[in-house]
Amino acid sequence: MLDTRNDGVTNGEAQVQHFVVGHFEKPVVFDVGANVGDWTEAMLSCGTVEVHSFEPSAATFATLKRRIGSRAILVNAACSSRSGTGLLHLAEGAPRTNTVVAPIDPERYQTSEAISLVTVADYCKQHGIARVDLLKSDAEGHDYEVMLGAEPAMDTISMIQFEYNQRWIGQRRFLRDVFELLNPRGFEIGKISPNGIEFYPRWTWELETFREGNYLACRPQLAAKVGRVAPTWISS
């Protein structure tokens, strides 16, 4: 099923980043769930790019700010389906898995932090952003809510990369929800792999494994240009 270790250097994410820089002139990229900036750093190293990095945790944002500085636009907030305030559940000793959703392993989350929430659409409107070439979301189970918050601005977004894993259970969301949201809006959806994007002609129950993976949704004209592999394992 093309499951692979979640390493941005080897799992195919780097190829997506290079494609974006090679295809768009000074691409506008959103890094939602930036954490300490590994993905932002890799994106900046690809070439001329405007990155907006969103990280809600105060402590993690401070680290992100020290590391990235003025090379990206840093936003101390989480993207969601609404703007306002919310709670971030803090994973003891593992800030990479801090999450806005109800944890499926609550014993690891003993504390929480009040955070700011903003929708992608509201942020774009407030800052006069006319296009987003790549919206990347690594929100530990909150990724569908990020896409919902981008829906009013969806016509201005070319590509969406999102993480899907077991934390979607806490939000009670499925890949099916993404297909129902994005397919009617002209996106093709597939899993990112080291060999290319495994685009799916439609949703099928066999996709709902909750195994960690990164997925790409993009316009057909872009899907035709990225490297792709056939989903030969799907039986239905």
DSSP letters of 156-192? GEEEEEEEE-TTHHHHT--HHHHHHHHGGGT-EEEEE
Dihedral (Cα; 115, 119, 125, 129), 10-degree rounding: 100
pTM of the shown model: 0.93
Residue 218 in tokens: 């993009």
For the cut 70, the answer to whether the pLDDT of residue 9 exceeds it is no
Residue 118's beta-bridge partner residues? 79
Q: Is it the case that residue 236 has pLDDT exceeding 80?
A: no
- Across the chain, what does the average pLDDT equal? 93
pLDDT at 2 over 60: no
How confident is the model over 172-208, as pLDDT tens digits?
999 999 999 999 999 999 999 999 999 999 999 999 9
| pLDDT tens digits, 128-175 | 999 999 999 999 999 999 999 999 999 999 999 999 999 999 899 999
Residue 140's CB is within 10 A of a number of other CB atoms, namely: 25
Report all structural domains of the chain as residue ranges with CATH numbers, in order of start.
13-83+117-223 (3.40.50.150)
The rounded distance, in Å, linking the Cα atoms of 166 and 164 is: 7
